[in-house]
Amino acid sequence: MTDVAGEAKRRRTFAVISHPDAGKSTMTEALALHASAITQAGAVHGKAGRRGVTSDWMELERTRGISITSAALRFEHRGHVFNLVDTPGHADFSEDTYRVLAAVDCAVMLIDAAKGMEPQTMKLFEVCRHRRIPVITFVNKWDRPGREALQLLDEIEERTGLRPTPITWPVGISGDFHGVVDRAEQRLIRYLRTPGGATKAQEADLTTEQAQAEWGGDWLRAGEEVALLDEIGADHDQKAFESHESTPVLFGAALTNFGVGRLLDALADLAPAPGPRADIADRPRPVESPFSGLVFKVQANMDPAHRDRIAFVRVCSGRFQRGMVLTHAATGRPFATKYAQAMFGQERATVDEAFPGDVVGLVNATALRPGDTLYDGPAVTYPPIPSFAPEHFAVARARNSGKSKQFRRGIDQLDAEGVIQVLRSDLRGDQAPVLAAVGPMQFEVVQHRLAAEFGAEISLDHLDYTLARRTDSASAELMAGQRGAEVLMRSSDETLLAVFTDRWRMGSIKSDHPGLVLEPLIADTTV
């Protein structure tokens, strides 16, 4: 019992969230570099001879230069075990990001120094607010021209309602970055570039006299701004941070590895360790309780040579031991864990035990879906991860009728992973399912994976529907034959969805049928 609690205190499980192109994948790689988990950082925008980003293992991710699917990286630093769950870097994959945020205890909010708080950043922040996930803010790309630091602090507070408390403060305006004042440790740190930013940036501590001699007016300005922060009391308060009232702020540049090591230390010092998690009845399950875990992601074919299916499980309580037989809460059936792995991007290693906060990959988990609970001992079920309301719809058909079996197998697999929502209707039949997506790029991923992994090329006929609502069988009968609307059944759970061309058409049909049941698919997030 004590061992489990002690191991839980060593864990830091977090995600990096940002608007696309804010540098999230570069930051993910830089953190792994500074923890010595890798020896050389890759790049999103590949220069000749440079490695790909560790967390972006899918071929489509490497060619497009964005994160499409979430991945888990596990490494150690200063006696702590870090579980970094990478999130997709495009708004079309918000649903995958939402699943990741159900599995972490802290988030790093990455802000572009030139663009500030962007729409996707705010949407993801709202999920953190709802889930009460503490947020550490990192102002990225300070080596490029951008806004003033004080202006960015004002925007953070105005847009998020969190009180910004800078841990570090930049010396030099955005685009002329020399180093930082570490307010927490009372240090002056100078950064020096390394070739291509592929290795750790060199750091050197300076005295105030050396800073004055080297940085001149930039040092004087930074000193005045730090004095202002001291005067207004913009100091870190751990209680306010953990209660989602304030956000520690750091400045740096992930591409050149400036300030990344300090962010890693801040995560070790400030990010909360795993604590009791509330079950579906809002009863907290202590970390010392027997094992329980939440499935937050399912991914097939990460290893093309084996074509297996892996369920990513966040350990919520107790000690996980490979080989233990757990109970699948959704079915009550036993689930054997003979093949359990720790993940590092696409790379894997057998894991014999894990503790609260860790992410375990369970191989050949065909019965598991995102949101499922596994447990040992007293029964527990954690709140399910809700599906987003789709806004894009298309009918999928196999281009080659001889590949119909591969087509169906691939569609079922992607549906189980949550890559796409698969809807069916008696009108079209199983050979022409309707794919429902949050964003259109999901269709591109489906086409790529069906062709690459299942050998089934598809054609897509896009439909005019733009919104969906949950309904019931009685309402489905009322809607039969209505123009600009249709009722489809979600394959994963047989939920009936009423889809409409637009809000006007939905309102018109509802006014004609006042008893119509139309419920939002997701009510607890604004993403």
**pLDDT at 524 (0 to 100):** 37
pLDDT, position 141: 96
Do 44 and 183 belong together in one domain?
Answer: yes
Is 77 annotated as belonging to a binding site?
no
Q: Is 415 annotated as a binding residue?
A: no
Contacts of 154 (CB under 8 A, 6+ apart): none
Task: Decide which of 270, 304, 330 is a domain's last residue.
Answer: 270
* CATH code where residue 61 lies: 3.40.50.300
Residue 500's Cβ-count burial label (10 Å; 0-12, 13-18, 19+) is buried
Structure tokens at 302: 């990460």
Q: Which two tokens stand for residue 128?
A: 């953190």
Q: For the CA atoms of the chain, what is the radius of gyration?
A: 24
pLDDT value of position 330: 93
Residue 103 has, within 13 A of its CA and on its CB side, a CA count of 34
Tokens in use for 508? 């018109």
- Report in angstroms the alpha-carbon separations of 236 from 261, 270, 345: 19, 10, 33
The answer for residues whose C-beta is within 8 angstroms of residue 446's C-beta and 6 or more apart is: 396, 414, 419, 420, 435, 458
State the pLDDT at residue 94. 61
Asked, for residue 253, whether it belongs to a domain, the answer is: yes
Q: Which structure tokens are listed for 204?
A: 């050197």
Identify residue 337 by its one-letter amino acid code: T
> Last residue of some domain: 375, 408, 435?
375
| Same domain? 327 vs 440 | no
In a domain, 80, yes or no: no
CATH number of the domain encompassing residue 487: 3.30.70.3280
Domain check: are 125 and 152 in the same one?
yes
Asked if residue 153 is part of any domain, the answer here is yes
Let me know whether 247 and 290 are in one domain. Answer: no
10-residue stretch averages of pLDDT, the chain, 527 residues long: 86 90 85 71 38 45 45 86 78 69 93 91 83 95 96 96 97 95 93 78 90 93 96 96 96 94 96 96 96 90 66 95 95 93 73 94 87 96 84 93 91 85 86 89 88 92 94 92 92 89 94 91 47
State whether 126 and 143 are in the same domain.
yes
Please report the pLDDT score of residue 88 as a whole number. 67
Look at residue 435 and tell me if it is in a domain.
yes
What's residue 389's pLDDT?
79
Do 445 and 398 fall into the same domain? yes
Domain that holds residue 455: 392-512
Query: In angstroms, rounded to a whole number, what is the distance separating the alpha carbons of residues 47 and 415?
Result: 35
Looking at the fold, whether 258 and 112 belong to one and the same domain comes out as yes
Q: Give the pLDDT of residue 301.
A: 66
Q: Is residue 81 assigned to a domain?
A: no
Asked which of 221, 249, 270 is the last residue of a domain, the reply is: 270
Closest of 224, 273, 268, 271 to residue 247, by C-alpha: 271
Q: What CA–CA distance (Å, rounded) separates 379 from 439?
A: 37
Residue 481 has what pLDDT?
87
CA 326/CA 505 separation, integer angstroms? 48
What is the total count of domains within the chain?
3
502-508 CB contacts, 8 Å cutoff, 24+ apart: 502/466, 502/467, 503/467, 506/467, 506/469
What are the DSSP E strand ranges found in 193-283? 202-205, 246-251, 277-278
Let me know whether 179 and 282 are in one domain: no
514 marked ligand binding residue: no
Predicted TM-score (pTM) of this structure: 0.81
3-state secondary structure of 458: strand
Based on the domain organization, do 202 and 298 belong to the same domain?
no
Give the type of residue at 345. Answer: G
Which pair of tokens denotes residue 296?
Answer: 């937050």
Same domain, 234 and 210: yes
Is 182 annotated to bind ligand?
Answer: no
Whether 89 has a binding-site annotation, put simply, is yes
Cβ atoms within 10 Å, residue 505:
18
- One domain, residues 315 and 241: no
Residue 197, phi then psi, degrees to nearest 5: 65, 20
Are residues 265 and 281 located together in one domain of the fold? no
Give Dmax (Cα) for the chain: 80
